[in-house]
Amino acid sequence: MITKLVMATNNANKLREAREILAPLGIEILSQREAGANCDPDENGSTFAENALIKARAVYEAVKLPTIADDSGLCVAALDDRPGVYSARYAPDGQHCAKLLEEMKDVPDDKRWASFKCTIAYVDDREATTMSGACIGHIGYEERGTNGFGYDPVFMVGDRTMAELTPEEKNKISHRAVALKGLYEYLSKKQLDEKIYG
């Protein structure tokens, strides 16, 4: 039975989301720092899945505990799905939204569609697998809200930004939440199989 799971991140927001959604499984979720993994692999994959697997495998090798890692990003239709896998490196810290709004300043309402995408990788001593999630929305014209991080303040879901949603609302629709729910189903089945088959 899995009793501990390491998440290949030290991002408090990502950890909180994972802990909330996976809580019913009763698995302790550790950050890589808490698990003693001091690694920062080069995320040189061309897809979210490749990058998630790179991170998960690196941390698993360091701690030898079941490990999950996510890679996610914003894909904007008018920008040919940029920034995509380069979302975290698109601009200096704290300037992502401002740069995106500048790039989108002449894009009309009907061309501002975007999607948040997330792939979560799971790695243990026997297998490696991935599950993905997406959230469709559009890019607003200004930053709004204080609940989110990253591109949340400019990503509109209906008439609110992701950063204006409560954590409970976000956990129902976010790209990471959808992927984590896929992970929840996967781990639930894995726990059940281990109970039955040992």
The total number of residues shown for the chain amounts to 198
- CA geometry: angle 4, 56, 177, nearest 5 deg: 75
Please name the amino acid found at residue 78: A
- Residues 91 and 189: their CA atoms lie apart, in Å, by 40
- Residues 53 and 70: their CA atoms lie apart, in Å, by 8
Q: Within 10 A of 9 (CB to CB), how many other CB atoms are there?
A: 18
- Residues 142 and 137: their CA atoms lie apart, in Å, by 15
- 71: annotated active-site residue: yes
Catalytic-role residue among 71, 110, 124, 159: 71
Annotated catalytic residues are: 71
